[in-house]
Amino acid sequence: MKGKNKCESLGKYISELYRVQNSYLSKRFNKLNIGAGQYLFLLHLYKYRGATQEELTEMLKVDKATTTRAIKKLEDNGYVIRDKRKEDKRAYNVILTEKALDIEPKFFEILDEWKNKLKEILSEEEENTLLKLLKKISISNLI
C-alpha cells in the first residue's frame, strides 16, 4: 500500500477531471460549432457582456495569444464581434451577436448537464466543501 500513495496527487485528479470535462463539453458544444478552447470565453461574455479582450485574458488567466485565437474563432463562427473602444483604439470590446444570444439557453443547458453529472456523485455537503477548497487553491496565486 505504501507505493500506491506515491502515485496519488491532487494534480493528477484535477488533471483527469479537467480532461473528462473537456471531452464531454467538446462533444456537446461541437454541435454548436464551439470548440473546447472557446466555450469558457463565451461563458464569460454571457456573464460580463462587452468585456474587453484584455479583461477576458485576466479573468481566465490565459495569455493574450490564447484570447486572440479564441475570440477570432468565435468571431469567424458568428458568435461575437470586436468593437474598437472609443477611449483606447488599441482595445476591443467583445460583443455577443444575435446568434450567440439565440443559443444562450442551449449553451447553459449543456453546462447544467455536466454539473448534474457531478451532482450525481457528490452530496451537497461534499460539493460545497470541494468548491470551497478548489476556490481557495485557485485564488492563492501559486505562481
Q: Helix, strand, or coil here: 81?
A: strand
Mean pLDDT of 120-143: 88
At 39-80, the pLDDT tens digits run 999 999 999 998 999 999 999 999 999 999 999 999 999 999
Would you place residue 85 in the very low, low, confident or very high pLDDT band (cuts 50, 70, 90)?
Answer: confident
- High-pLDDT (> 90) share of the chain, %: 73
Residues 108 and 28: beta-carbon distance below 8 Å: no
Would you place residue 1 in the very low, low, confident or very high pLDDT band (cuts 50, 70, 90)?
Answer: very low
Q: In angstroms, what CA-CA distances link 27 with 70, 115, 138?
A: 17, 15, 26
CATH assignment, 10-138:
1.10.10.10
| HSE toward the beta carbon, residue 26, CA cutoff 13 A | 9
Ordered by start, the domain boundaries in the chain are 10-138
> Does residue 5 register a pLDDT over 70?
no
